[in-house]
């Protein structure tokens, strides 16, 4: 095993170098690094209330060291699980409670003896059913992961699969369940009563999106066969480089954060992440960290992940490109394009790791960088004030469902074609005219966000990519895309709290799969569509430009028709 070292980061900042250096000098002049480790909340805000909240969520800064002590406990648990004959793990949760497991599963090869992992973080009935049908239920360990223990989705997933296991194992169902949650939550009591095999108590002072290196990330990682001791050692190496043990000359987190903060203030507020295929899902984790931490008070760094990388002519002046890849993977096409972008005057940062275990260090670099960007933007990076609003709106919708047995009726469609209904204020003729009118509202510096409350599949993802490509090539706008309700717990904060520069395209469907939820009067599908409706109302309340496209009962068949209509609408 190579000894831990920090992956090199190269900054090509061109005309922005001067302003960023000035910011770094300012931060150093006020002893930012020392203040950061002492949780000096004045670095972020002048409000006393804000300062108290900041201090209470800075437990993540030293949690990697704490977790080094917990490695034997986690490894003993993994041994117990394997000896008990489990063959598969399903991690169920939203946002920060599942993003790191997704990255681990996709970025590492499963080690010999490691258990395969699936992650369930959607209420879409088709996806829930796919997971149910793809695992041996009686030999599957279900991890219900929720910091607060109150999030509606993980509780629903837990109840759903617990009922299934009860049918198979009766009173022994709890043997297949594990909880990861904060101490004192009601969920702890419920999990205890239901006989869960184990309850891992996490740390109240570590927020969800900063919890990759706690039980939330590490328990699934260890079950999958990842060497978590080494992962943590590398994180601790990065902690030291960022000044955890005293003064450092160049703090890598501070450098990244100052770059993101200054560029955001100068209008280059769209951090475009470029990765090799093997790191495809790193973007999901980073999206939540950056968008939820910085997207508030009309400011923010917008993470753009999974967008096809283009030539300089398709971009405006609103990007910072960051490449995270591997030293020994040439990834020639991306690297050449980045070179061209750099030469055309776009700021580009390149981080090269040796192997996936270096992600331990990178998680920490980005966490510090995000906190520093928050200080430069003068916002509290540890709260998510606008996420709750959309949950409250969904609760209102669900109340109607419970009273009337169905979702509340919405406005009349602006257009209907090919079994697809379009809802928006923009006025145009038919599907093509409506799409044209909707996008005619865009201007330079805007972004287009696709929200897919659909069953995730390669075919749907490919169509969404095509949609993004058309927008990028014809309108030269940044595009982001996420499956709902996952993104609600991630980029959803930025959509409502960040600058009003987004055009939101929401896709819903009427799932042919009907999955009732135990103990509730509604099904997964109704819940999913209520979440979409609740968020749409919240976006509209914030005067965001919205287009809701209902794809009907066969989204794989109708989405290509929408893409074809878009092509026509955007043609010159």
Ligand X SMILES: O=P(O)(O)OC[C@H]1O[C@H](O)[C@H](O)[C@@H](O)[C@@H]1O
Closest CA to 114 of 235, 256, 220: 220
Q: Which is nearer to ligand X, 252 or 381 (CB)?
A: 381
Q: Which is nearer to ligand X, 158 or 252 (CB)?
A: 158
Rounded to a whole number of angstroms, the minimum distance from the CB of residue 157 to ligand X is 11
User: For the sheet containing 270-274, what is the strand order?
Assistant: 9-12, 348-353, 319-326, 270-274, 302-304
Q: Which is nearer to ligand X, 244 or 480 (CB)?
A: 480
Q: What is the spatial distance between Cα 180 and Cα 564, in angstroms, rounded to a whole number?
A: 45
DSSP state of 111: P
Handedness of CA 151, 155, 156, 157 (dihedral sign): positive
Rounded to a whole number of angstroms, the minimum distance from the CB of residue 147 to ligand X is 3
CA-based max dimension of the chain: 67
Q: Which is nearer to ligand X, 152 or 163 (CB)?
A: 152
Strand partners for 145: 180
Cβ–Cβ < 8 Å for 360, 285 = no
Token pair listed for 155 = 């509780």
Rounded to a whole number of angstroms, the minimum distance from the CB of residue 390 to ligand X is 9
If you write DSSP's letter for every residue of 380-436 in order, what string do you get? -TT--TTHHHHHHHHHHHHHHHHHHSSPPP-PPPSEEETTEEEEESS--SHHHHHHH
Cβ–Cβ < 8 Å for 442, 503 = yes
Rounded to a whole number of angstroms, the minimum distance from the CB of residue 448 to ligand X is 23
Q: What is the spatial distance between Cα 435 and Cα 428, in angstroms, rounded to a whole number?
A: 8
Cβ–Cβ < 8 Å for 375, 26 = no
Rounded to a whole number of angstroms, the minimum distance from the CB of residue 216 to ligand X is 8
For residue 204, give Cα distances in angstroms to 57, 229, 261.
8, 23, 28
Rounded to a whole number of angstroms, the minimum distance from the CB of residue 554 to ligand X is 30
Rounded to a whole number of angstroms, the minimum distance from the CB of residue 489 to ligand X is 3
Closest CA to 110 of 234, 281, 227, 276: 227
DSSP state of 279: G
User: For the sheet containing 447-452, what is the strand order?
Assistant: 415-417, 420-424, 545-550, 502-508, 447-452, 478-483
Q: Which is nearer to ligand X, 16 or 196 (CB)?
A: 196
Pairing status of strand 502-508 against strand 447-452: parallel
Q: Which is nearer to ligand X, 78 or 387 (CB)?
A: 387
Pairing status of strand 502-508 against strand 545-550: parallel
Cβ–Cβ < 8 Å for 297, 379 = yes
Rounded to a whole number of angstroms, the minimum distance from the CB of residue 150 to ligand X is 7
Cβ–Cβ < 8 Å for 289, 366 = yes
Q: Which is nearer to ligand X, 99 or 263 (CB)?
A: 99
Q: Which is nearer to ligand X, 292 or 550 (CB)?
A: 292
Q: Which is nearer to ligand X, 7 or 293 (CB)?
A: 293
* Residue 448 backbone dihedrals phi, psi, to 5 degrees: -115, 125
Rounded to a whole number of angstroms, the minimum distance from the CB of residue 46 to ligand X is 25
Cβ–Cβ < 8 Å for 556, 459 = yes
Closest CA to 504 of 466, 476, 532: 532
Rounded to a whole number of angstroms, the minimum distance from the CB of residue 146 to ligand X is 3
Q: Which is nearer to ligand X, 127 or 185 (CB)?
A: 185
Residues that bind ligand X (CB under 6 A): 93-97, 146-148, 151, 154, 208-209, 292, 384, 387, 489
Q: Which is nearer to ligand X, 423 or 524 (CB)?
A: 524
Rounded to a whole number of angstroms, the minimum distance from the CB of residue 497 to ligand X is 11
């Amino acid at each position: 095993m190579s000894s831990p070292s920090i992956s090199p980061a190269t900054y090509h900042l061109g005309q922005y170098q001067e302003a960023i250096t000035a910011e770094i000098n300012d931060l150093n002049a006020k002893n930012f690094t020392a203040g950061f480790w002492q949780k000096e909340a004045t670095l972020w805000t002048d409000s006393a209330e804000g300062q108290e909240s900041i201090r209470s969520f800075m437990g993540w800064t030293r949690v990697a060291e704490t977790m080094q002590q917990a490695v034997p406990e986690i490894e003993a648990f993994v041994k117990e699980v394997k000896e008990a004959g489990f063959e598969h793990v399903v991690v169920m949760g939203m946002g920060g409670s599942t993003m790191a497991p997704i990255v681990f599963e996709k970025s590492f090869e499963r080690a010999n003896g490691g258990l395969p992992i699936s992650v369930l973080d959607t209420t879409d009935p088709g996806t829930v059913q796919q997971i149910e049908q793809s695992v041996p239920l009686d030999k599957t360990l279900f991890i219900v992961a929720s910091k607060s223990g109150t999030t509606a989705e993980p509780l629903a997933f837990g109840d759903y699969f617990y009922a299934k296991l009860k049918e198979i194992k009766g009173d022994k169902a709890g043997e297949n369940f594990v909880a990861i949650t904060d101490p004192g939550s009601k969920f702890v009591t419920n999990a205890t009563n239901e006989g869960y095999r184990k309850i891992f108590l996490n740390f109240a002072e570590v927020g969800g999106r900063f919890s990759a290196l706690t039980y939330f990330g590490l328990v699934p990682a260890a079950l999958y066969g990842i060497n978590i001791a080494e992962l943590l050692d590398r994180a601790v190496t990065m902690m030291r480089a960022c000044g955890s043990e005293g003064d450092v000359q160049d703090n890598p987190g501070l450098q990244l954060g100052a770059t993101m903060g200054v560029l955001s203030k100068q209008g280059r507020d769209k951090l475009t992440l470029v990765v090799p295929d093997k790191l495809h899902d790193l973007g999901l984790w980073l999206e939540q960290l950056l968008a939820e931490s910085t997207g508030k008070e009309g400011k923010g760094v917008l993470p753009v992940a999974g967008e096809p990388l283009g030539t300089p002519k398709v971009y405006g002046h609103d990007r910072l490109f960051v490449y995270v890849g591997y030293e020994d993977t040439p990834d020639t096409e991306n690297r050449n394009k980045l070179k061209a972008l750099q030469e055309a005057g776009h700021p580009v940062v390149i981080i090269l790791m040796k192997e996936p275990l270096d992600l331990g260090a990178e998680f920490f670099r980005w966490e510090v960088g995000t906190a520093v960007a928050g200080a430069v933007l003068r916002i509290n990076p540890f709260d998510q004030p606008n996420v709750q609003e959309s949950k409250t709106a969904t609760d209102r919708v669900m109340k109607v469902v419970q009273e009337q047995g169905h979702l509340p009726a919405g406005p009349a469609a602006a257009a209907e074609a090919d079994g697809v209904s379009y809802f928006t204020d923009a006025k145009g003729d038919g599907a093509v005219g409506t799409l044209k009118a909707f996008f005619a509202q865009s201007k330079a510096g805007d972004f287009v966000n696709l929200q897919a409350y659909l069953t995730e599949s390669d075919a749907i993802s490919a169509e969404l990519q095509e949609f993004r490509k058309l927008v990028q090539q014809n309108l030269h706008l940044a595009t982001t895309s996420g499956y709902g309700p996952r993104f609600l717990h991630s980029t959803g904060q930025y959509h409502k709290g960040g600058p009003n520069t987004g055009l939101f395209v929401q896709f819903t469907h009427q799932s042919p799969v009907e999955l009732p939820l135990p103990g509730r009067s509604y099904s997964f599908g109704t819940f999913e569509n209520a979440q979409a409706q609740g968020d749409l109302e919240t976006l509209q309340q914030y005067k965001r430009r919205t287009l809701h496209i209902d794809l009907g009962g066969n989204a794989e068949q109708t989405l290509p028709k929408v893409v074809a209509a878009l092509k026509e609408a955007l043609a010159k």
